[in-house]
Each structure stands twice: as structure tokens, then as C-alpha cells.
A and B are shown apart, each in its own frame.
Chain A
């Protein structure tokens, strides 16, 4: 079956990207966030993403502002998700925040609806345990910017069913995305490796070995990476990187995941990367 309406909980960086991607592919999105202020910020980001998508993606629809808005419902109420056929959850990377949301979703959503958990580090099996439908919980680790990344890391929890994976593949077919399906341990594949990389880059910067530009240039010019580790951290959000490292450290108790003190200090002072206008680099045109 083709999905016509998908719910998106959390309209931050990735959530807004998911909404924009749904809109660009003709799927109605119900976007839920905590406050009208958050939703207004998300609306601006989503409209900008949809507006400029045709510049980068061949065949992307050229939607007017009104046409794009007609495909989105913005709300602060979880209850407004009742008509959705699939849910993508993208709230803060914090189990104390996610758990009650899944418990509530489980109560209000029809039993057939699957929940896609967009988490960078939290166990999908654990998320499933907060519901009475663990077979319908699956991990979807989108990369930023969502609408331009054709591949998604998909995590199958211990109890995730083949039918749920099939439903996800159907949604991805509509979004023209591919899934790489991996197993369920904290950090999965992408973040378990990439966060050690970004964290160590932060340590190198903290130790004064090189500037941020030099550190990133080493990997771009010597190794052919598209982006360096510190640029990537800024793009993800230093607060998100910090929280993910904390989850990894708590999960594995391995000191290789201990968060660089400088990263924590930057987050404490509001320097969260692109989303805040400044991280390791300055972003004068950010949405903040």
C-alpha cells in the first residue's frame, strides 16, 4: 500500500528534513513539536528546504509556498497523529524524553501502525519494550540533509518483524531511498564509529595541534572525505554529538567514548554548531 499520511514527532533538524522530504514526494506530513515557537521555526526551515530542493535534486517538484503548506499539518498535540499510517519519531536523543512518547503513541495509534525511531544511539529493542508492539518498532537513522541523502541506516530490533521492514521499504520506495539494515547495539554502525572520529578530532583541536580548518582539510584533501570531522559535528549539532557520546559511554563503559571536555563546554555556552550559528565554525546565515 502507498503511504498517504505520515506523522513526524519532533521538528528539529532531522524532523524538519523528514517533513520536507515527505512533502517533496507527495506524502502529507503531520508535524508535532512542543510549542508553536518550535513549529514556526520548523515551518521556515521546511519551506526553505522545499523551495530550494529543485536546485539540487533532478525532478524535485517546484512547489509554491501554499502548495507545500497544504501538505503539512503543524500541531503540538500527539493526538493529531491518529490518522497517520506510519510514525517517524525524532525527539531529543534522551531516553527519559522518548520513553513516555512511545508509551503514549502506543495507546493512541491504531495497532497496525509502525513506529520508526530516528535515534542515533538508543537501542531499538529498548524503544520497542516501551510499547506493546515491539514487532512494529524499527530504527531509521536519517542523515542530514534528509532530502538529499538517498541511503538510510535502518536498525532492526530483536523483535522487529519482517512485515515492519517491508512497510519501511514501501515508505522508502516512495521517498526514493535505500535502506542498509544493521543490527541493534548502541550507536549501531554509523554513530559508533563516526562519534569516536569526531570526538577525537575535538580532542586534537583542544590540544592545540591544529586549527579546525586544518583538521578538516587533512581528511578532505588527504583522504578525499566530502566533509571533515569538525564540519560534520557542526552540521549534526554539537549538543547531539555530545548526547550521543554520553549514551555510547553509558552503554559500553568504554573510555574511548568519553566526551571531549571542550565539546561539553561549547555546548554549555550555546555553541552548538550550524543550528546555533556557531560551533567550530561560524554560520552567519543559519536559521537561529
Chain B
């Protein structure tokens, strides 16, 4: 899995969302919470999924609905977190 590939990350996020809601043609910038398609419990499930799938920990500061509000926002958040986590993991491997 290449977290530097935004399309791959978006696809993973989209697939996870589609498991919870049945919607055709979900736009990458569609605000999932404002459309009422998902509820607050889903935000918790999405956060847990992202941590398990991409191997980073989401800090209290990161837990912001703005980071999860759409597929694009979530993909950008994953890219930032993965980039921040990667140097620490590289150091540990050495």
C-alpha cells in the first residue's frame, strides 16, 4: 500500500465508507456529515479504521471533523500523518 498515492488512499477510504452507506457516485469533496449520510458514530469508526489501516495514531489535536469530512479531506489527512510518521519508523528500523 502506497500512502503517497492519493488515488489509492481515496479508494481505500471510499470502500470503507461504502460498507457503511449505500450511495452511488460519492463525490470526493462531498461533505459526508452535512449530507446526513453518516452519523457521529461513523466518525469514530472511520478514525479507528484509519489508525488500524495506515498504522498511525491520531492525536487529540488531529481529531477534528475537518480532517474527516470528505474523501479528499481524509486522504489529505492520511498523507500528512503518514509523512509525519515515516521518518520515525525509518529511524526505528536502523
Interface positions of A (Cβ within 8 A of B): 48, 51-52, 54-56, 62-64, 148, 285
A54 touches B40 (CB 8 A): no
Which of B40, B48, B59, B61 interacts with A55 by CB under 8 Å?
B40
A55 touches B63 (CB 8 A): yes
Shortest beta-carbon distance from A238 to chain B in Å: 19
Interface positions of B (Cβ within 8 A of A): 40, 43-45, 47-48, 59-61, 63-65, 68
Task: Please provide the 4 A-B residue pairs with the shortest distance between their CB atoms, ordered closest to farther.
Answer: A62-B60, A56-B40, A52-B44, A55-B43
Is chain A's interface secondary structure helix, strand, loop, or mixed overall? helix
Shortest beta-carbon distance from A257 to chain B in Å: 31
Look across to chain B and name the residue whose beta carbon is closest to the beta carbon of A283: B41
A63 touches B65 (CB 8 A): no
A55 touches B60 (CB 8 A): no
A56 touches B43 (CB 8 A): yes
- Distance in angstroms between the alpha carbons of A285 and B20 in the assembled complex: 12
Of B61, B63, B68, the most chain A CB neighbours within 10 A belong to B63
Shortest beta-carbon distance from A21 to chain B in Å: 15
Residues in chain B near residue A62, CB distance under 8 A? 60-61, 63
Which of B40, B45, B60, B63 interacts with A285 by CB under 8 Å?
B45
B45 touches A52 (CB 8 A): no
B48 touches A54 (CB 8 A): no
**Can you name 24 A-B pairs with beta carbons within 8 Å?**
A48-B44, A51-B63, A52-B44, A52-B47, A52-B63, A54-B60, A54-B63, A54-B64, A55-B43, A55-B44, A55-B63, A55-B64, A55-B65, A55-B68, A56-B40, A56-B43, A62-B60, A62-B61, A62-B63, A63-B60, A64-B59, A148-B40, A285-B45, A285-B48
